[in-house]
Amino acid sequence: MKFVSLLALPLLALAPIQQAAAEQFTTEQLQHTAQIRQHAQNSELSWQLVESLTTEVGPRLPGTENDKKAVAWAKAQFERLGFDKVWLEKAHFPHWRRYHESGHILTPSKQPLHLTALGNSVSTAKDGLTAPIVLFETLAELQAAPAGSLAGKIAYVNYRMNRDIDGNGYGPAVKARSSGAVVAAQKGAIGYMMRSVSTSHHRFAHTGGSHYKEGVSKIPNVAIANPDADQIARLIALGEQVTVHINIQTEDLGQGESYNVIGEITGHSKPDEYVLLASHLDSWDLGTGALDDGAGVAITMAAAKHVAAMKRPQRSIRVVLFAAEELGLWGAKDYVKAHSDELDHIVAAAESDFGADVVYAFESNVHAQSLPIVRAIAEQLKPLDVAYIGANSARGGPDLIPFERAQSSPIFALHQDGTDYFDYHHTADDTLDKIEPHKLKQNTAAYAVFAYMAADAKDKIQAK
């Protein structure tokens, strides 16, 4: 274990930053960290939690009965695990539901089309929408189409997401999801269709948030699976005019209500300062939300529990399971509003919302004076094969975006290997069997080490 050899060095031999790091934690605290890490790596708790949530509740779209069950489940779990404080905070969001979706390619030959409505999409007519499609390779190509040129047509963006360990392919691809329907409607299209924001070669369509714009006609808005997109690309390459039939039935139910569910391990000497461990409790309705974000729920709950099982740190650890992330970070936004006068109480915030593959690197976004604490934490993550990224410009997970905007909280990233994440993300195939238990344990151990050390460092970590 690295810290033993570090401490064995005479202090004078340490570089200044190492010395400063060593001053933040006693030998006892570091031994303690090692125990927590070991304990978390051996514990089945995070697996049990994600198994229970995804099996007994399953999909949990905000506002549904299952969402209510998930809130009750989370509260009961926090209580069962002996968190010192457990409470709910209201969150509001636009309540949207999916009832039916189906589709076919009609010409040149009838074939099923594996599609899904994008979140927030309006319905087609009861008996569906039939129209020829016009293919654009990118959203920019669609944007360049002349006004009115798509009258009576379905605009189709064929952009293929790139696979990447950090999910860097997602951002460029997701623009076509967020705003494609608006651009298409502005050109006169009566429907919008896109290749799924997905790296999967299986026949699953990927859902996700999308938006309309005031004053622009709201048109049905779907994504198709990659093999179906390949099929359409081949047909068009053959010179065929492809006509499709789409039937999606959805409903806008106005404002919905749910809850951020919060469990706190209360610090023994500075209880008002806290480490924020974030994840989101809601999921899309297609899968069971195992990777997105049952894993994060399980990792953060279990990590805090593992710390508490040893001893209470100086500061608190607050696990917040945010509501309605998928529909637009609504729980996180409401949290930031409700806690706006105390966001500087957060000494470290990190979110687990990128599946369940291993954490491979650790990065901060903190005031330079707090870097010695960061280095000391990084040292304790090394036995978990977590590298240190010294750029100090970490972005948190999606629920931390409102916190980043408020610029009051030190942000941390425990970078997960996301190479395969977008094979499952937002599809029916996001189910428990896609999680490997040993990887989940590694994540839990990394979050436990991080949470304990950030909560028990001599000094409070400062925001930039």
**Interface with a copy of itself (CB under 8 A):** 51, 55-59, 65-66, 69, 105, 108-112, 114, 201-204, 226-227, 230-231, 234-235, 238, 240, 285-288, 428-429, 431-434
Please identify, using beta-carbon distances, which residue of 240 and 344 lies nearer to a copy of itself: 240
Q: Cβ closer to a copy of itself: 58 or 296? A: 58
Task: Considering the complex, state which of residue 96 and residue 452 has its C-beta at the smaller distance from a copy of itself.
Answer: 96
Residue closer to a copy of itself (CB basis): 225 or 303? 225
* Closer to a copy of itself by Cβ: residue 55 or 241: 55
Token output for 7: 């401490």
CB of residue 257 to a copy of itself, shortest distance in Å: 19
Sort 207 into a burial class: Cβ within 10 Å, 0-12 / 13-18 / 19+.
Answer: buried
289 or 372, CB closer to a copy of itself?
Answer: 289
Q: Are 205 and 115 in contact, with CB atoms under 8 Å apart? A: yes
Give least dist CB 391 to a copy of itself, A: 37
Residue 65 beta carbon to a copy of itself: minimum distance, rounded to whole angstroms = 7
Closest to a copy of itself by CB, 333 or 434: 434
Q: Report the distance separating Cα 395 and Cα 179, nearest Å.
A: 23
Q: State the nearest-atom distance from the C-beta of 103 to a copy of itself, in Å.
A: 13
- Closest approach, Cβ 234 to a copy of itself, in A, equals 5
Q: Smallest distance, Å, CB 430 to a copy of itself?
A: 9
| Closest to 240 (Cα-Cα) out of 248, 232, 230 | 232
* Nearer of residues 267 and 287 to a copy of itself, judged by Cβ: 287
Q: How far is the CB of 17 from a copy of itself (least distance, A)?
A: 46
Q: Please, what is the minimum distance in Å from the beta carbon of residue 283 to a copy of itself?
A: 11
Q: Shortest gap between Cβ of 66 and a copy of itself (angstroms)?
A: 6
Q: Count the neighbouring beta carbons within 10 Å of the beta carbon of residue 23.
A: 15
Instruction: State how far the Cα of 177 lies from the Cα of 284, in Å rounded to an integer.
Output: 15
Cα–Cα dist 150/185, whole Å = 8
**Of 138, 135, 149, which Cα lies nearest the Cα of 235?**
135
Residue number, 53 or 376, with CB nearest to a copy of itself: 53
